[in-house]
Amino acid sequence: MTKLSVNINKVATLRNARGTNTPDLLKVAKDCEEFGAQGITVHPRPDERHIKYADVYALSQHVSTEFNIEGYPNPKFMDLVLDVKPEQVTLVPDSPEVLTSNAGWDAKANFDQLKDVVSTFNKAGIRTSLFMDCNEEQIEWAAKTGANRIELYTEAYASNFSLGNEAAIAPYTKAAFVAQKYDLGLNAGHDLSLDNLAYLQQNLVGLQEVSIGHALICDALYFGLQNTIQMYLNCLKTN
């Protein structure tokens, strides 16, 4: 079964809006785990507009499932990850001003940087994943960095799903086989929802983990957090 990692950035955004500890980020993370999530994801950004660096340290003492930290590997981020030593770090090519991740790595152009960063994290015993588009050449270069996994950027899949799911999934199916060819583990994330998740899981060979935040937290407003997590887990059951 593909694992579900819940991205709790949006919970932190809501908390920060009033400057209090409501909702309690640590409690939400523990509740997600108790309700069945197999991981917790956070993406601290330089301006700390949602997840704060202090949150990452606090969560590292409470998360009992897989802890996944996403971010651009600047020196401050790397120090944070090396201090916390999560099970997984997902490297994204975001510039500081972007609202949300919007592209995968150009692993060829950034090869030297990525190879050094991946080596540093691997030596610390931290699984590394690179945020990637469905591009065979780029996935090959990602493998050359020594990364353990890639996370396919699924915004295009989600956007095109309503226009025809077979066309939407085709590049991702091919990318999954390419990842397998180069012995890369496979994750996926961005704009995945109750509408499109099951089809993705059913058609991506070797999909190990999905990271979902925005849609899941929005659904929880209607269905409740426990019910919502169970609904997403049901989408990930192998038929």
**Structural domains of the chain ordered from first start:** 3-235 (3.20.20.70)
Does the active-site annotation cover 34?
no
Q: What is the mean pLDDT of each run of 10 residues along the chain (239 residues)?
A: 96 95 97 98 94 98 98 96 98 71 87 98 98 97 98 96 88 97 97 96 96 98 98 88
Query: For residue 100, what pLDDT is reported?
Result: 56
Residue 1 pLDDT: 86
pLDDT in the model for residue 98? 55
Q: Could you tell me which residues are beta bridge partners of residue 150? A: 130, 186
**Residue of 66, 70, 151, 209 marked catalytic:** 70
**How many angstroms separate the CA atoms of 42 and 199, rounded?**
25
Examine the residue annotation and report whether 70 is marked as an active-site residue of this protein: yes
What per-residue confidence (pLDDT) applies to 37? Answer: 98
DSSP character at residue 109: T
Choosing from 43, 66, 151, 209, the catalytic residue is: 43
Location of structure tokens 């523990």: 30
The three-point CA angle 192-190-3 to 5° equals 65
Question: pTM for the complete prediction?
Answer: 0.94
pLDDT of residue 62: 96
Known catalytic residue at 43: yes
Q: In angstroms, rounded to a whole number, what is the distance separating the alpha carbons of residues 118 and 110?
A: 12
The residue annotated as part of the active site, out of 33, 50, 66, 190, is 190
Residue 109: closest CA among 76, 67, 138, 75: 138
Angle between helices 111-123 and 136-144 in degrees, nearest 10: 50
